[in-house]
């Protein structure tokens, strides 16, 4: 049997949560599967650098655009672009037109099966899902083999709002190599900054986009005394606004933006507290990474975060949008080293029991293979 060829259609292939999970699975499947990756934003391919060199991956520049008006002609061209593969994987709203194209033209063109992955929503749907998009999703996903979601919140939306049949919705929690995150990191693991004896770090890992609301975290951090430093790992269009806010508050010397950093296992353990300030999340893998590294977490009650954490840590989660409450949690944790240690230990146990990558990879392997009519993937 020939190697399966999988087509990935992404809203973007930047180094965010869904993209990093995609890379994680591609690397786990190994050289026995070949891949074609398309980004709706063609110049956002940062996650590509994380794929193992021995895996065959192509990035076509001539695939029909995934963004634009969903006219019949455009959707037909997208459908034609799916021909010749063994499986089509679509990701988030940015690839929903591809799912619609598959639903409309899939049978006529003899297209391969399609599985859609939904990991969350953009800034324009952070308060309320758009009715028109809900209807569009309901129709577009009508013939998808499966809809995969990582969180309980998204599973409920898929079943009740989008009316996807329960036998086609699969909740698969994101998983990581939990043991690897427990290894002590080096103080110079991040570019341009070194953690020295006596330093205390509040850290976050996120794409620097508006929906992550990092300026809010800068403001919440501003009340922490020295020697606390804020380390923001990631890249994106909001970097300037984050730096401006730090300068406005007079704490620019304690706020560090080292940019994108490969392999969080090398540096997450440097944080003394991990924090998020996002306006919306579903199942942020960065929280699992911090848990596996034995760190306490300060974050708003968005998505599944409160359910992900240990019971002890979940009680400290602040109400969504309450910046003062987040600041209060940070002050509490910053002033109590014993509390930080006990919460970190509880989180680490929870991560190892519930979110190890072995179970996640095995589930995806079975699901993808079943969709292609194979007993397993190589």
193-244 pLDDT per residue, tens: 999 999 999 999 998 989 899 999 999 999 999 999 999 999 999 999 999 9
* pLDDT given at position 1: 65
241-299 pLDDT per residue, tens: 999 999 999 999 999 999 988 889 999 999 999 999 998 888 888 999 999 999 999 99
d(CA 300, CA 302): 6
Name the residue among 212, 159, 9 with its Cα closest to residue 93. 9
Tokens of 92: 């988030």
Residue pair 372/32 in contact (Cβ under 8 Å)? The answer is no
171-184 pLDDT per residue, tens: 999 899 999 999 99
- The domains found in the chain, sorted by start residue, are 5-174+357-371 (3.40.50.2000), 180-354 (3.40.50.2000)
Residues 6 or more apart from 1 whose CB is under 8 A from it? 374
Percent of the chain with pLDDT strictly greater than 90 = 82
* pLDDT given at position 282: 81
Residues 6 or more apart from 376 whose CB is under 8 A from it? 365, 366, 369
- What's the predicted TM-score (pTM) here? 0.76
Confidence of residue 352 (pLDDT cuts 50, 70, 90): very high
Name the residue among 148, 139, 144, 58 with its Cα closest to residue 365. 148
DSSP 287-309: HHHHHHTT--EE-BS-TTHHHHS
* pLDDT given at position 13: 92
Average pLDDT, whole number, for the chain?
94
Residue 97 has pLDDT above 70, yes or no: yes
Confidence of residue 305 (pLDDT cuts 50, 70, 90): very high
Helix residue spans in 95-212 (DSSP H):
96-109, 131-140, 152-160
d(CA 18, CA 22): 6
Helix residue spans in the chain (DSSP H):
17-29, 72-81, 96-109, 131-140, 152-160, 214-221, 239-248, 285-292, 305-308, 311-314, 323-334, 337-354, 357-371
27-75 pLDDT per residue, tens: 999 999 999 999 998 888 989 999 999 999 999 999 999 999 999 999 9
d(CA 146, CA 367): 9
Average confidence (pLDDT) over 339-345: 98
140-163 pLDDT per residue, tens: 999 999 999 998 889 999 999 999
Strand, helix or coil at 255?
strand
Name the residue among 293, 295, 300 with its Cα closest to residue 277. 300
* pLDDT given at position 2: 85
Confidence of residue 115 (pLDDT cuts 50, 70, 90): very high
Name the residue among 186, 205, 313, 220 with its Cα closest to residue 257. 205
* pLDDT given at position 82: 98
Confidence of residue 113 (pLDDT cuts 50, 70, 90): very high
* pLDDT given at position 262: 82
């Amino acid at each position: 049997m020939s190697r399966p060829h999988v087509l990935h259609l992404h809203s973007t292939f930047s180094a965010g949560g869904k993209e990093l999970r995609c890379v994680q699975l591609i690397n786990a499947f190994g050289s026995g599967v070949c891949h074609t990756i398309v980004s709706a934003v063609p110049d956002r391919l940062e996650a590509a650098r994380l794929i193992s060199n021995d895996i065959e991956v192509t990035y076509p520049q001539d695939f029909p655009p995934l963004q634009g008006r969903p006219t019949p002609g455009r959707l037909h061209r997208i459908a034609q672009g799916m021909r010749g593969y063994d499986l089509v994987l679509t990701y988030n709203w940015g690839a929903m037109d591809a799912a619609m194209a598959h639903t409309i033209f899939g049978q006529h063109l003899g297209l391969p099966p399609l599985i859609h992955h939904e990991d969350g929503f953009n800034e324009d749907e952070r308060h309320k899902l758009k009715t028109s998009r809900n209807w569009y999703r309901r129709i577009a996903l009508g013939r998808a083999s499966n809809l995969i979601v990582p969180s309980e919140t998204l599973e409920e939306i898929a079943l009740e709002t989008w009316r996807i049949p329960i036998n086609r919705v699969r909740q698969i929690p994101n998983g990581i190599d939990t043991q690897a995150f427990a290894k002590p990191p080096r103080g110079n693991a991040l570019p341009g900054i070194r953690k020295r004896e006596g330093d205390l770090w509040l850290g976050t890992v996120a794409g620097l986009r508006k929906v992550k609301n990092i300026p809010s975290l800068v403001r919440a951090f501003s009340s922490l005394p020295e020697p606390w430093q804020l380390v923001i790992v990631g890249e994106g269009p909001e970097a300037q606004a984050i730096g401006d806010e730090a300068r406005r508050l007079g704490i620019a010397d304690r706020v560090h933006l080292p940019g994108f950093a490969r392999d969080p296992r090398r540096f997450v353990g440097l944080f003394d507290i991990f924090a998020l300030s996002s306006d919306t999340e579903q199942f942020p893998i960065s929280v699992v990474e911090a848990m596996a590294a034995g760190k306490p977490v300060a974050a708003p009650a968005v998505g599944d975060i409160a359910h992900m954490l240990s019971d002890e840590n979940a009680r400290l989660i602040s109400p969504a949008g309450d910046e003062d409450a987040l600041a209060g949690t940070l002050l509490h944790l910053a002033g109590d080293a014993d509390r930080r240690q006990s919460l970190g230990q509880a989180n680490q146990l929870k991560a190892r029991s519930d979110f190890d990558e072995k179970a996640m990879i095995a589930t995806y392997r079975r699901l993808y293979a079943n969709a292609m009519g194979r007993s397993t993937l190589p």
